[in-house]
Amino acid sequence: MKVPEFKSNSHNREYMAEYVASVGMEVHAELLTQTKMFCRCTVAFGGEPNTRTCPICLGLPGTLPVPNRKAIEIVLRTAIALNCQIAMDSIFHRKNYFYPDLPKGYQVSQYGETNPLGYYGYLEIPTKDGGYKKIKIRRVHLEEDTGKLMHMPQGGSGVDYNRAGVPLMEIVTDFPPDIENSDDAKEYLSQLRAILIWIGACDGKMEEGSLRCEPNISVRVVGTDAYGTKTELKNLNSFRSVQLGVQFETRRQVAVVEGGGTVAQETRGWNEANESSYLMRVKESENDYRYFPDPDLVPMKFDEAYIQSLRESLPELPLSKWKRYQEEWKLSAKHADQLTNERNWAEFFEEAVSLGGDPQLICNWMIAEFSAALNEAGLTARDSFITPKHLVDLTNLIKAGTINGKIGKDVFAECFKTGGMPSDIVKEKGLTQVSDSGEIQQVCMSILEANPDVVTRYKSGQTNVKGFLVGLIMKEGKGRFNPGMVQETLQEMLDR
E runs forming strands in 51-131: 85-86, 89-90, 93-96, 106-109, 118-126
The 3-state DSSP class for residue 269 equals strand
Q: How many other C-beta atoms can be found within 10 angstroms of the C-beta atom of residue 334?
A: 9
Strand-pair partners of 360: none
**What secondary structure letter does DSSP report for 465?**
G
Pick the piece of the chain touching Mn ion (CB under 5 A) from 3-11, 169-177, 301-309, 327-335. Answer: 169-177
Residue nearest to Mn ion (CB): 170
For Zn ion, the closer of residues 50 and 360 by Cβ is 50
For Mn ion, the closer of residues 170 and 369 by Cβ is 170
Q: Does 39 contact Zn ion by CB under 5 A?
A: yes
For Zn ion, the closer of residues 54 and 310 by Cβ is 54
For Mn ion, the closer of residues 106 and 370 by Cβ is 106
For Zn ion, the closer of residues 54 and 319 by Cβ is 54
Of 21, 161, 66, 189, nearest in space to 104 by CA: 161
Pick the piece of the chain touching Zn ion (CB under 5 A) from 46-54, 338-346, 385-393, 481-489. Answer: 46-54
Pick the piece of the chain touching Mn ion (CB under 5 A) from 132-140, 154-162, 168-176, 451-459. Answer: 168-176
How many CA atoms within 13 Å lie on the side-chain side of 337? 8
- Residues contacting residue 472 through CB under 8 Å, at least 6 positions apart: 447, 451
Q: How many other C-beta atoms can be found within 10 angstroms of the C-beta atom of residue 434?
A: 18
Pick the piece of the chain touching Mn ion (CB under 5 A) from 166-174, 197-205, 309-317, 425-433. Answer: 166-174
Q: Does 170 contact Mn ion by CB under 5 A?
A: yes
- 41, 76, 444, 485: residue in contact with Zn ion (rule CB under 5 A): 41
Shortest CB 69 distance to Zn ion, Å: 16
Pick the piece of the chain touching Mn ion (CB under 5 A) from 164-172, 231-239, 269-277, 387-395. Answer: 164-172
Q: In the window 336-355, what residues touch Zn ion (CB under 5 A)?
A: none
Buried b (16+ CB within 10 A) or exposed e, 465-478: beeebbebbbebbe
Beta strands 93-96 and 89-90 are unpaired
- 26, 49, 54, 302: residue in contact with Zn ion (rule CB under 5 A): 54
Element (H, E) at 278: strand 276-282
- Whole-number Å distance between alpha carbons of 10 and 13: 8
Q: Does 160 contact Mn ion by CB under 5 A?
A: no
Of 338, 336, 339, 314, nearest in space to 324 by CA: 336
Q: Which does 170 bind (CB under 5 to 8 A by kind): Mn ion, Zn ion, none?
A: Mn ion
Shortest CB 109 distance to Zn ion, Å: 18
Quickly list DSSP for 57-72. TTT-TT------HHHH
Pick the piece of the chain touching Mn ion (CB under 5 A) from 73-81, 123-131, 165-173, 234-242. Answer: 165-173
Shortest CB 360 distance to Mn ion, Å: 45
For Mn ion, the closer of residues 170 and 249 by Cβ is 170
Shortest CB 55 distance to Zn ion, Å: 7
Q: Which does 145 bind (CB under 5 to 8 A by kind): Mn ion, Zn ion, none?
A: none
Shortest CB 422 distance to Mn ion, Å: 52
Q: Are 100 and 93 in contact (CB under 8 A)?
A: no
Strand-pair partners of 465: none
- 37, 43, 57, 135: residue in contact with Zn ion (rule CB under 5 A): 57
Shortest CB 115 distance to Mn ion, Å: 14
Q: Which does 414 bind (CB under 5 to 8 A by kind): Zn ion, Mn ion, none?
A: none
Shortest CB 210 distance to Mn ion, Å: 14
What are the φ and ψ backbone dihedral angles of 476, each rounded to 5 degrees? Answer: -60, -35
Quickly list DSSP for 287-301. -----EE-TTSPPEE
For Mn ion, the closer of residues 108 and 255 by Cβ is 108
Q: How many other C-beta atoms can be found within 10 angstroms of the C-beta atom of residue 432?
A: 14
For Zn ion, the closer of residues 165 and 477 by Cβ is 165
Shortest CB 43 distance to Zn ion, Å: 10
**Considering CB under 5 A, how many residues would be counted as binding Zn ion?**
5
Torsion on CA atoms 393, 398, 403, 409, rounded to nearest 10: 80
Q: Does 35 contact Zn ion by CB under 5 A?
A: no
Binding site for Mn ion (CB under 5 A): 170
Binding site for Zn ion (CB under 5 A): 39, 41, 54, 56-57
